Each structure stands twice: as structure tokens, then as C-alpha cells.
Amino acid sequence: MNEPKPIESKPRTRRPSVAKTTQTRQAIVAAALDVFLERGFSDARMEDVAARAGVAKGTVYRYFTDKEALFEGVLREVIAVPLAHLTLMSPEPGVRLRDAIWSVVLPIVRDMERSKRAPVFRLILAESSRFPALAIMFRELVFDPIAEIIRRLAQRGVETGELTTDALVRFPHLMIAPNMLAVLWNGVFDPEHPLDMEAMFAAHLDIMFGKDESGCGPPAPQS
């Protein structure tokens, strides 16, 4: 039963605990995101983060070395997660260009309105001078993939003659711009009279491809 105790110095045992800590970490991350979104980096207080996570201040420092690490860590997690399902979307042949673009961009628009992505985007923008790497990461993981899809679609559009210019191939960003504007408009410049992002995007397509006749636009644009 009892094996010979090796003379004493056996370091007894070591237990790396388990799920509890990751649970705590998640609470901290979630709390930190909320606090940073509300106050921005400089005005966010570590005590507030701890309080909202239901832990003491010192605990936060067991998971993140300092405030900057907390900010970067939290936002990296938020940025990295999403949009994965979109990146692989490839242009299905046979679909009209307008419809293809619509079906690619619409989910992004919809999700933008009902998630934290818009506020996160504005936060990254606000703190970009202190955390330039985050802004670049956001571009690489969010903007660039979308732009690349648009570019491919545009390229096909040029080949099929649906587009008379390669302008959209050279500047796929043009397809993203209206949404970017709407996010800032609704969150910053005129929250009282928010733009209907979906309607605006449909309008954009109307201008580019002519008034839509099929059934893929919104049911009936608002007043």
C-alpha cells in the first residue's frame, strides 16, 4: 500500500486547479470589456473591473500583468472570435452580382446592429493611438477578409460585364464605407436620428446597379 516515502524531500504533490480559474478569468474579461466600453481606457478603473467581475482588485492582477495587458487581452479575444463563417464564403456562380454582394454584406450589417461589434469598433478607434496594434489586428481580421470577398465578387462582375469599371476591384473598401459611416453616425454623431443601415445599404446598391426590381431589397424602405 504505502510506498516507501523517499526520505522526506518528496515535494508532496502539486495540483493545477481547473475550471474555476477559467471561470474567474472569463468573468474578468467580460467585466473589463463592459467597463472599457463605457469609460474608455484611461477612465476605466481596475477596481470597477474587479467589482463587476465579483472579485477583488488583486485578483485581476493574477490574470493580467497590468491595465494595458488587460485591455489588449480583452480586445484581442473579442476581435479574434467572430466572422469566421464569412471568410470562407465564395462567390456562387450564376447569382447576380448585386444579389451576391447583398447576401454577403447583409449578415454583417444585421449582426452589427445587435452585437457589441459596433461599440467595440468605436472603442478600438478611440484608443488606436495608444494601441495601434489592435486597430491593425481589427483590419486584418475583419476588414481585409470582407474586402477580399468583395474584390473577388467585383472581379467576376467585371468579367461577366455586370460592372463597367474595375473601380470596385481596386477599391473594395467602397462597399464597406456606408456601414462604417452608419456605425459612427448612429453611435456618435446623431444617436437621436439613427440611420437605417439596411435601407442605406440597399440605397447604395440601387445607385450602383440601378433600382432593384427583384425581391432582394428590404420589403419597403422607410419613410
Partner DNA sequence: AATTATTATGACCCATGGGTCATTTTATTG
Partner DNA sequence: CAATAAAATGACCCATGGGTCATAATAATT
- Interface of this chain with its own copies, residues 160 to 199, rule: CB under 8 A: 163-165, 167-168, 170-171, 173-174, 176-178, 180-182, 184-185, 188-190, 195, 199
Smallest distance, Å, CB 8 to its own copies? 55
Q: What Cα–Cα distance (Å) separates residue 212 from each residue in 14, 50, 164?
A: 67, 52, 18
Which positions ≥6 away from 156 have C-beta within 8 Å?
91, 93, 97
State which of residues 4, 6, 7, 17 lies at the interface with DNA (CB under 7 A). Answer: 17
Q: Provide the 8-state DSSP code for 39.
A: H
Residue 86: name its binding partner from DNA, its own copies, none (Cβ under 5 to 8 Å by kind): none
State which of residues 45, 110, 130, 170 lies at the interface with DNA (CB under 7 A). Answer: 45
Residue 164: name its binding partner from DNA, its own copies, none (Cβ under 5 to 8 Å by kind): its own copies
Q: In whole angstroms, what is the distance from residue 79 CA to residue 171 CA?
A: 24
Smallest distance, Å, CB 55 to its own copies? 25
Q: Is 129 in the site for DNA (CB under 7 A)?
A: no
Q: In whole angstroms, what is the distance from residue 78 CA to residue 95 CA?
A: 33
Q: Is 133 in the site for DNA (CB under 7 A)?
A: no
Of the candidates 31, 30, 40, 57, which has an alpha carbon nearest to the alpha carbon of residue 131? 40
Nearer to DNA, 55 or 147 (CB): 55
Q: In whole angstroms, what is the distance from residue 92 CA to residue 137 CA?
A: 29
Smallest distance, Å, CB 68 to DNA? 7
Under 8 Å between Cβ of 197 and 177: no
Site string for DNA, 60-99 (x = CB under 7 A): -xx---xxx-------------------------------
The grid cell for 34 is 463592459
Residue 194: name its binding partner from DNA, its own copies, none (Cβ under 5 to 8 Å by kind): none
